Amino acid sequence: MTTQLCLADTFIADQNRAAQGALRSDFAHLGEVLARRGVDIEALVERAQSFRIAVPSWGVGTGGTRFGRFPLEGEPRDIFEKLDDCCTINRLVRTTPLVSLHIPWDKTNDLGALRRHAGERGLTVDSMNSNTFEDQAGQALSYKHGSLAHPDPAVRRQAIEHNLECISIGKALGASSLTVWIGDGGNFPGQMHVRGALEAYLASMREVYAAAPADWRLFIEHKLYEPAFYSTVVNDWGTSYWAAEQLGPRACCLVDLGHHAPNVNVEMIVARLIQFGKLGGFHFNDSKYGDDDLDAGSIKPFQLFLIFNELVDAELAGVPGFHPSYMLDQSHNVTDPIESLMVSAMEVQRAFVQASLVDRAALSGFQRVCDAVMALRTLKAAFTTDVEPILAMGRCRAGGAIDPIAAYRTSGYRAAKGAERPGVRRTAGGIV
Ligand code: PSV
Ligand code: MN
């Protein structure tokens, strides 16, 4: 385990020096443009700086498909090294001091050391993610045919106990939520009793809910297919909403952007969950066909903006109980995961700032008189504004990099880790 902290402030400041002149001038120009629209650019910089998003511990390793995996040099070999990579990401982008953990992938026998390791790197654990979608070595019963919704109560018991263990690990690490995604479902019609499985799931989740600390939230993550290809138990936001309602006020719904059928209007789902008081958080990623887990904002940036349009609207309206958690959940198969996670965090932050630019008084005026053209133009005026100088200025003032990718590449971090962390050659396929 290394105690050496990540990229030094002086290195980042040196990298910024050459780009500072251009940033100052772009920022001044954008400030004038926004002032003409009655917008104070400094208020937007503050907003950009207030944005927070969690990095998934499982995202810093190279992902794979079921066909294979092509590992990168210097991949982290344990949760301590994963946190070192998360620290590097946060030092460059300054919006990701939060990390989501996945158990048992991130298990360690020294939780105190892990908490210290995170703290020394300016990181906090936000959500614990349980894993009952694959079997672990030495596990008594198999999850091949399900977990929390399995027809056999003994398998359900094992899955419940695993979630309780995740809660107790999370408590020791200072986490604030548990995210439950189950792979339970059926590959063929008739394989699973549809109502029975959901009843079994709910009964299991009642025990998990009861064990979660009073100040925690329990996130329910729905997904329409995969690994089950005919049906899943928590298949959509309606089922997720129903389960959250049944469980109680600390249970809410988590929207993973890739967990819907193609062309589903995800921003509508977000708006509904806000209205019903059950939006808990997000797993951001992007996709073209299914749960592709591509970098956030890489395929459908306008959708991401429209989601944030709903989120910012709810925030400004002061919707009671509105405080969603923002997390990334991606699989990096062909890129350096550190680069993908930095770009993704910046893309989600970009959507947040663009959505903050929407002239809401004008929009609501156009909605009242049913002027569809001007309503859309109002949204597009915000979406097409290049807010990069705001994001870069926010990062730079917070000690981050004006151009995080350039700084990261210059740092030689990946090659250094390659030398420091030899020997990870797991090439088999898998979800992550
Ligand atoms: C399932 O596809 C999922 O989105 C869940 O969040 C899991 O915890 C994660 O991916 C595992 O890679
Ligand atoms: Mn997810």
Res. 1 pLDDT band, cuts 50 70 90: very low
Ligand located closest to 133 CA: 1
Ligand 1: residue whose CA is nearest its atom 9: 329
Ligand 1: residue whose CA is nearest its atom 6: 181
Ligand 1: residues with CB < 6 A are 58, 129, 181, 221, 223, 256, 283, 291, 329, 431-432
- The stretches of 263-335 forming alpha helices (DSSP H) are 266-275, 301-317
- Mean pLDDT for 392-396 is 98
CA 19 to chain centre: 30
Res. 73 pLDDT band, cuts 50 70 90: very high
Could you tell me the maximum CA-CA distance found in the chain, to the nearest angstrom?
Answer: 66
Ligand 1: residue whose CA is nearest its atom 3: 181
Res. 3 pLDDT band, cuts 50 70 90: very low
Ligand located closest to 431 CA: 1
Residue 186 β-bridge partners: 231
Ligand 1: residue whose CA is nearest its atom 12: 432
- Ligand 1 atom with the smallest distance to the CA of 254 is 6
69: its two tokens? 């995996």
- Nearest by Cα to 337 from 408, 411, 256: 408
Ligand 1 mean position, distance from CA 62 (Å): 15
Res. 224 pLDDT band, cuts 50 70 90: very high
Average pLDDT taken over every residue of the chain: 96
Check pLDDT > 80 for residue 425: no
Check pLDDT > 90 for residue 233: yes
- Residue-level pLDDT at 367: 98
Measure the CA–CA gap between 211 and 5, rounded to whole angstroms: 35
Ligand 1 mean position, distance from CA 105 (Å): 13
- Ligand 1 atom with the smallest distance to the CA of 221 is 6
CB 217 within 8 A of CB 250: yes
- Residue-level pLDDT at 423: 73
Ligand 2 mean position, distance from CA 354 (Å): 24
30: its two tokens? 């954008």
Higher model confidence: residue 39 or residue 428?
39
pTM above 0.85, yes or no: yes
Measure the CA–CA gap between 221 and 215, rounded to whole angstroms: 19
Ligand 2 mean position, distance from CA 56 (Å): 10
Res. 422 pLDDT band, cuts 50 70 90: confident
CB 62 within 8 A of CB 337: yes
Ligand 1 mean position, distance from CA 329 (Å): 7
Res. 374 pLDDT band, cuts 50 70 90: very high
CB 178 within 8 A of CB 127: yes
> Around Cβ 238, how many Cβ atoms within 10 Å?
12
Considering the chain, what percentage of its residues have pLDDT values greater than 70?
Answer: 97
Ligand 2 mean position, distance from CA 43 (Å): 32
- The stretches of 318-371 forming alpha helices (DSSP H) are 337-356, 360-368
- Residue-level pLDDT at 426: 65
Peptide bond before 227: cis, by omega within 30 degrees of 0? yes
- Residue-level pLDDT at 2: 43
Peptide bond before 189: cis, by omega within 30 degrees of 0? no
- Mean pLDDT for 54-67 is 95
Ligand 2 mean position, distance from CA 284 (Å): 8
Which of 60, 180, 260, 283 should be mutated for ligand 1, with most atoms under 8 A from CB?
Answer: 283
DSSP type of residue 282:
E
